[in-house]
Chain A
Amino acid sequence: QQPVQSPQAVILREGEDAVINCSSSKALYSVHWYRQKHGEAPVFLMILLKGGEQKGHEKISASFNEKKQQSSLYLTASQLSYSGTYFCGTDYGRLERQLTFGSGTQLTVLP
């Protein structure tokens, strides 16, 4: 039931782009993206609802492909502050909105 994230890790130079994928074998109601820096709490980035909606926040955007049950997070012109572990949390529509998280993608941005 756990969503599968890919890649597991990626190293970038400042200014480069990255894509992180999150795939589920079950039908998704929504996908929640978080970034967690070492020793800190996960920080909310955005929610994607089923319907193929694409959302964005500055240079970070995401899409939700309902047919493939997959969400992708796009980081454009990455900055040093983007370094951290990115998690997708999938919501399968249960009443309590339980989130099932993937194992994370470790992103390192080098100067």
Chain B
Amino acid sequence: ETGVTQSPTHLIKTRGQQVTLRCSSQSGHNTVSWYQQALGQGPQFIFQYYREEENGRGNFPPRFSGLQFPNYSSELNVNALELDDSALYLCASSLETTLPTDTQYFGPGTRLTVL
């Protein structure tokens, strides 16, 4: 059973550019949640995709968008990058979001640096 994988590992962009981050969920999981983790802080919820539909969104502007594909892998897109977007971006997959005991398993993250 493969765990959650993310690509790329590291990324450097300049302000104003666009970036796409990718996540492959754990086998059998149909839900992917994306989090932003600033240095020294806990992860902050961006949004969640459940069976290819957005299923909830945190306090992030519309320039943060996403997709989920039929194989339940997911993309996070960020347009018009700002310096404050520099962070570790984590995705977490879970089996079935409606279960109260649903566990989110995190990938290793993508470290984004905006210059």
Interface size bucket, A side? 20 to 34
Q: A44-B103, A103-B41 are in contact. Are A94 and B56 (CB under 8 A)?
A: yes
Interface string of A68-111 (1 = CB under 8 A from B): 00000000000000000001010000111111111110000000
Q: Which residue of A lies closest to B41 (CB)?
A: A103
- A95–B107 touching, CB < 8 Å: no
A42 at interface by CB-CB < 8 Å: yes
Given the complex of chains A and B, what is the CA–CA distance between A41 and B26 in angstroms? Answer: 14
Cβ-defined contact, B106 with A98, below 8 A = no
> Within the assembled complex, what's the spacing in Å between the Cα atoms of A30 and B33?
17
Are the C-beta atoms of A40 and B108 separated by less than 8 Å? yes
Q: How far is the CB of A95 from chain B (nearest CB, A)?
A: 7
Note all chain A residues with C-beta closer than 8 A to B104. Answer: 32, 44, 89, 97, 99
Please state if B45 and A44 are interface contacts (CB–CB under 8 Å): no
- A104 vs B101: C-alpha distance in the bound complex, in angstroms? 22
A2: B residues at CB distance < 8 A: 42
Q: How far is the CA of A103 from the CA of B100 in the complex (A)?
A: 23
Q: Which of B62-70, B78-86, B90-98 contacts A (4 or more CB under 8 A)?
A: B90-98
Task: Assess the A100–B108 pair: CB atoms within 8 A.
Answer: no
- Given that A47-B101, A99-B104 are contacting pairs, would A41 and B109 also be in contact in the complex, using a CB cutoff of 8 Å? yes
Other contacts beyond A41-B4, A95-B97, A99-B104: 11, CB < 8 A: A29-B100, A32-B103, A32-B104, A44-B104, A49-B100, A89-B42, A95-B56, A96-B33, A98-B58, A101-B43, A102-B42
B contact set with A: CB distance below 8 Å? 4, 33, 35, 40-45, 48, 50, 55-56, 58, 90, 94, 97-98, 100-109
Q: List 15 A-B contacts (CB under 8 A).
A: A42-B106, A43-B106, A44-B106, A89-B42, A95-B55, A95-B97, A96-B48, A96-B97, A97-B48, A97-B97, A97-B100, A98-B33, A98-B45, A98-B56, A101-B44
Q: Write the residues of chain A forming the contact surface with B, with a CB cutoff of 8 angstroms.
A: 2, 29-30, 32, 34, 40-44, 47, 49, 87, 89, 94-104
